[in-house]
Amino acid sequence: MATKEPIITLSAGPVAAYPAVMRALSRPIGYDYDRHFLEFYEAVNRKVTQALRSSSPALILHFEPAPGLEAAAASLIGPDDVVLNLASGVYGKGFGYWSARYNKELVEIEVPYNEAIDPAQVEAAFKKRPDIKVVSVVHHDTPSGTMNPVKEIGQIVRKHNALMLVDAVSSWGGMDIHPEESCADIFVTGPGKCLGGAPGLTIMAVNDRAWKHMEANPKAPRASVLSLLDWKDAWRQDKPFPFTPSVAEVNGLDGAIDLYLAEGPETVWKRHALTAKACRAGIKAMGLSLWAAREEIASPTCTAVRVPDGLKDDDILAAARSLYGVVFSSGRGETKGKLIRIGHMGLVAEPIYAVVAVTAFGGALKKLGRKVDVGAGVTAATAVIDQARA
């Protein structure tokens, strides 16, 4: 017998899509070189550029952000480049493996995966290795639910005339982070997280510094799915696509961006933050521990909860799903088995879902024989919500 679909997905992504996005995805699939689609594609790109608050046209790649990040590494990093990779989690560490395929040398700062990179560490790295040319960093390392101070790091990188590549896949759209104010030269994100869209596209902001470096890179791919240069001008209706774009996904992106801009980014960020704050209050009131070493580095788009001693993450996830129809996410790689992630992104970045999360998490623990005061958790979560709305 097939497994039933969950009732509520509170995962760290992909996330539930807004109904308006689902409607947009159901629009007719048009011919990519029809004049209507060419005009539409440029219009969508302009809206994405506006949402990114970028002075350079947005770049849309037609696959989800993991290959998008690999494409950024392949295109930007040349055989003469020394790369500083900042690893505070599974995804940050993973970017270093891509980087190693292309760079001259990889220098790495790694911290425990419940911690964040200290900007002073980056400054010290430049003092020791002034030849560093590219710095790679994940803003919100989703498998840990923790954030790095990208804006402060970006100022240091720019001061040393290096290039910075930022993975903002699970943070942009859910908090105040943008490419230019963070001094990112390549800023990678997508619609499948905080925008509440489908997960099949990569969105990038690429500035002139990065384009010039790629154009001078003799190993930058061309006529390849990993090429950023091939797509540089494809946003313009008078330029060809390197290969067929994902028409349905562009329709969905249009729906997601329209929602984001219509609601207002600041309003969207506020409800993400409130949902996370309420959820964490409830989790702590039940006597559970957050994974992040300090709450100030915990992301407003994902709450990572340490798995209680004596329990298994898979058992908690299964109990929450079977009892409440609620899906959470496990850890990844080094954090697998150590934490459970509750997503606050897009459609479910609403305070009521914090109450749902606390109820399902606490109820699952009770089912597994753990003494948990679920009522105290719900009371704490609702108190945060009521206070914010007073």
Centre a 10 Å sphere on the Cβ of residue 35 and count the other Cβ atoms it contains: 9
DSSP for 48-73? Answer: HHHHHT-SS--EEESS-HHHHHHHHH
pLDDT of 324? 96
Same domain as 272, residue 178: no
CA atoms of 231 and 229, how far apart (whole Å): 5
Same domain as 301, residue 205: no
**Dihedral sign of CA atoms 264, 297, 198, 31 in order:** positive
Q: Which residue range(s) make up the domain with 255?
A: 19-262
* 287 inside domain: yes
DSSP for 135-152? Answer: EEEESEETTTTEE--HHH
CA atoms of 372 and 354, how far apart (whole Å): 17
φ/ψ (deg, to 5) at 162: -100, 170
* 172 inside domain: yes
Same domain as 371, residue 233: no
| pLDDT > 90? residue 2 | no
pLDDT of 323? 96
CA atoms of 91 and 171, how far apart (whole Å): 13
What does DSSP say about strands 163-167 and 132-138: parallel, antiparallel, or unpaired? parallel
CATH number for position 230: 3.40.640.10
**Location of structure tokens 């159901």:** 26
The pLDDT tens digits of the residues spanning 301-350 come to: 999 999 999 999 999 999 999 999 999 999 999 999 999 999 999 999 99
Question: What residues have CB less than 8 Å from 197, skipping those under 6 apart?
Answer: 17, 18, 21, 190, 191, 252, 253, 255, 256, 346
Contact 246, 25 (CB under 8 A): no
φ/ψ (deg, to 5) at 85: -105, 130
* 309 inside domain: yes
* 3 inside domain: no
CATH number for position 325: 3.90.1150.10
**Dihedral sign of CA atoms 287, 291, 295, 300 in order:** negative
Same domain as 115, residue 34: yes
SS3 240: coil
* 2 inside domain: no
The pLDDT tens digits of the residues spanning 166-214 come to: 999 999 999 999 999 999 999 999 999 999 999 999 999 999 999 999 9
Same domain as 207, residue 115: yes
Total tally of structural domains belonging to the chain = 2
CA angle, corner 259, sides to 255 and 263, nearest 5? 170
pLDDT of 34? 97
| pLDDT > 70? residue 1 | no
Same domain as 228, residue 322: no
Picking from 262, 284, 309, the residue at the C-terminal end of a domain is: 262
pLDDT of 390? 84
Contact 232, 205 (CB under 8 A): no
Picking from 205, 232, 262, the residue at the C-terminal end of a domain is: 262
Same domain as 149, residue 62: yes
CA atoms of 20 and 28, how far apart (whole Å): 15
Q: What is the mean pLDDT of the segment spanning 362-374?
A: 97
The pLDDT tens digits of the residues spanning 220-265 come to: 999 999 999 999 999 999 999 999 999 999 999 999 999 999 999 9
Same domain as 132, residue 233: yes
* 38 inside domain: yes
pLDDT of 6? 77
Same domain as 256, residue 142: yes
CA atoms of 363 and 372, how far apart (whole Å): 8
Known binding residue 321? Answer is no
CA atoms of 360 and 341, how far apart (whole Å): 13
* 218 inside domain: yes
* 1 inside domain: no
Give the mean pLDDT of the chain: 97
State the virtual CA torsion across 321, 327, 332, 338 in degrees, nearest 10. Answer: -60
> Across 57-185, where does the E strand assignment appear?
59-61, 82-87, 105-110, 132-138, 140-141, 146-147, 163-167
Contact 364, 288 (CB under 8 A): no
Same domain as 249, residue 316: no
CA atoms of 177 and 193, how far apart (whole Å): 14
Residue 340 tokens read as: 């459970």
Picking from 204, 239, 262, the residue at the C-terminal end of a domain is: 262
Same domain as 41, residue 114: yes
CA atoms of 163 and 146, how far apart (whole Å): 23
Same domain as 380, residue 258: no
